[in-house]
């Protein structure tokens, strides 16, 4: 049976993620520096420039999913009125808190709990659920919860959009200062944005290594190696990490190493990962000699608009240009660009039951794209964390049938 190929840099990943969590835990326990929670595509640069260490609950929720602890936790949140129909990151994370559980305590000696924040900062560019999620903790801990109310279904990103979000960001910084005493350091902001942009560029280069045939990495690798881009962008650590990873991947490409031995088909994955089934699905595609070469999900931490010479406006633009914020015409065009770069044979849409904003198969987009390009697609019903919404046998049959279809 084919084995999943592991990049050497994965070992470094374990270290940088451990350092990340220990840094936050130390800050939480000592009270210095202050801790901010931030949504994963929220204004992390702003918070770092104000002297916070930054914790990302979505990362914690993904760990709950990947470790299959989520389904033990979700019912606790359901029981206090948070529906099984809403974001299962939210219900996993709040449920884990209610049960007094965190996988971080199992993974990292000395960490007992998630870090209580000094401020919670959200951006609704992903969804309203992140705000509801943070507001739950704000009520629980009586901690200020501040954020940015983003646009939705954006076509072209205009100056009006940028001005509005940049204005909200400046007000947010002032409100955070009022709430916590931490002040904005403009020079530090420029440097943070510079490092974040560098991280973004490197992450983009890493992902585009998959344009090579055969591809040296898969979507599943991407979901693991995106950790520093999510949790550490704006730091030198993340930049160093992706320089190392990129170097290793270039070596693999030079040597013709394939992530999927005998790569026969190349597929684009649209939607959230099914965190609790990453390993099983990675193996399934390995056996089918099919490489998931690219995904909107992993691409979501590419922020090419960031510009250290214009940090406020460029942050506003970067966090409004995101795929998830855009309208369907933009999304269809985006798939075409991905098709040009990666040359895939088909798309798998993951219809995540509790994540409508990341389920782009509900308004006819797959059918329109397929009709326009001839690229076939299937839809898998599942969820990011709630495995009650996932029928594994049915999904396997769909995937195998899709590959048979591509085989002709």
Partner 1 sequence: MNYFIGIDIGSTTAKAVVVDHEGTILAQTVQRSGYDFAAVARDVFAVVLQRANLQRESVTGIVSTGYGRRNVDFADQQRTEIFCHARGVHHYFPGPVTVVDIGGQDNKVIHLGPGGERLGFTMNRKCAAGTGAFIEEIAYRLDLSLSDLNRMAEEAESEVTIGSFCTVFSCTEILGMARRGIPVADIIKGVFRSVVKRVSEMDSLDGKVVMTGGVVDHNPIVGQMLGEALGRSVEMPPHPQAIGALGAALIARDLHNTAVKS
Nearer to partner 1, 121 or 274 (CB): 274
Q: Which C-beta is closer to partner 1: that of 8 or that of 404?
A: 404
Which residues are within 8 A (CB) of 275 and not within 5 positions of it... i.e. 6 or more apart?
62, 65, 66, 70, 223, 384, 385
Task: Give me the least distance between CB of 232 and partner 1, in Å please.
Answer: 36
Q: Output the smallest distance, CB 345 to partner 1, in A.
A: 13
* Cα 234 from Cα 56, distance rounded (Å): 14
Residue (174 or 401) nearer to partner 1, CB: 401
Judged by the rule CB under 8 A, the positions of this chain that interact with partner 1 are: 370, 376-379, 381, 389-391, 393-394, 397-398, 400-401, 404-405, 408
Residue 29 and residue 52: Cα distance in Å, rounded?
14
- Nearest CB to partner 1, comparing residues 313 and 391: 391
Shortest distance, position 58 Cβ to partner 1, whole Å: 25
Peptide bond into 33 cis (omega under 30): yes
Between 342 and 377, CB nearer to partner 1: 377
CA distances from 73 to 3, 131, 136, 228 (A): 31, 20, 16, 26
Nearest distance, CB of residue 81 and partner 1, angstroms: 22
- Residues pairing with 122 in the sheet: 147
Nearest to partner 1 of 164, 391 (CB atom): 391
CA gap 134, 39 in Å, rounded? 9
Going 114 to 322 to 226 to 391, the CA torsion angle's sign is: positive
| DSSP string across 231-296 | HSTTSHHHHHHHHHHHHHHHHHHHHT--SSTT--EEEEEES---GGGHHHHHHHHHHTTEEEEEEH
Burial class (CB in 10 A: 0-12, 13-18, 19+), 356: middle
Q: How far is the CB of 67 from partner 1 (least distance, A)?
A: 23
Q: Which is nearer to partner 1, 78 or 370 (CB)?
A: 370
Least distance (Å) between residue 119 CB and partner 1: 40
Q: Which is nearer to partner 1, 275 or 349 (CB)?
A: 349
Whole-number Å distance between alpha carbons of 333 and 360? 13
Closer CB to partner 1, residue 234 or residue 276? 276
| Shortest Å distance, C-beta 354 to partner 1 | 13
Residue 145 beta carbon to partner 1: minimum distance, rounded to whole angstroms: 35
Distance CA 320, CA 156 (A): 10
The answer to whether 102 touches 60, Cβ cutoff 8 Å, is yes
DSSP 309: T
8 A C-beta contact, residue 65 and residue 384: yes
Q: How far is the CB of 393 from partner 1 (least distance, A)?
A: 6
**In angstroms, rounded to a whole number, what is the distance separating the alpha carbons of residues 176 and 191?**
20
């Amino acid at each position: 049976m084919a084995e999943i190929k592991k990049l050497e840099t994965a070992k470094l990943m374990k270290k940088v993620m451990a350092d990340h969590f220990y840094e936050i835990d130390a800050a939480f326990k000592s009270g210095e520096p202050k801790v901010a929670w931030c949504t994963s595509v929220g204004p992390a640069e702003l918070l770092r420039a104000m002297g916070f260490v930054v914790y990302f609950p979505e990362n914690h929720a993904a760990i709950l999913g990947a470790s299959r602890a989520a389904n033990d936790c979700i019912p606790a949140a359901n029981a206090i009125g948070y529906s099984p129909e809403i974001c299962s990151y939210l219900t996993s994370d709040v449920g884990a808190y209610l049960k007094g559980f965190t996988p971080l305590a199992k993974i990292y000696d000395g960490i007992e709990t998630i870090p209580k924040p000094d401020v919670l900062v959200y951006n609704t560019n992903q969804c309203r659920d992140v705000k509801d999620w943070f507001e739950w903790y704000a009520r629980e801990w009586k901690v200020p919860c501040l954020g940015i109310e983003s646009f939705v279904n954006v076509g072209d990103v205009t100056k009006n959009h940028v001005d509005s979000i940049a204005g909200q960001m400046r007000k947010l910084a002032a409100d955070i200062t009022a709430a916590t005493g931490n002040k904005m350091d403009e020079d530090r902001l420029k440097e943070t944005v510079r490092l974040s942009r560098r991280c973004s560029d490197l992450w983009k280069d890493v992902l585009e290594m998959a344009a090579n045939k055969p591809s040296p990495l898969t979507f599943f690798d991407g979901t693991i190696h995106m950790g520093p881009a999510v949790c550490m962008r704006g730091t030198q650590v993340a930049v160093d990490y992706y320089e190392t990873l990129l170097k290793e991947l270039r070596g693999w490409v030079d040597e013709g190493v394939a992530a999927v031995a005998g790569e026969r088909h190349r597929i684009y994955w649209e939607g959230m990962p099914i965190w609790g089934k990453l390993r099983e699905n990675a193996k399934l595609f390995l056996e089918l000699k099919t490489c998931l070469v690219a995904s909107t999900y992993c691409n979501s931490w590419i922020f090419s608009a960031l510009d250290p010479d214009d940090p406020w406006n460029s942050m506003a633009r970067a966090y409004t240009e995101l795929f998830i914020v855009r309208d369907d015409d933009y999304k269809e065009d985006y798939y075409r660009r991905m098709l040009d770069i990666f040359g895939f044979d088909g798309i798998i849409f993951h219809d995540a039951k509790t994540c409508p904003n990341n389920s782009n198969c509900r308004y006819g987009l797959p059918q329109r794209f397929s009709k326009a390009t001839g690229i076939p697609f299937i839809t898998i019903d599942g969820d990011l964390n709630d495995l009650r919404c996932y029928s594994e046998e049915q999904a396997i049959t769909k995937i195998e049938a899709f590959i048979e279809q591509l085989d002709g």
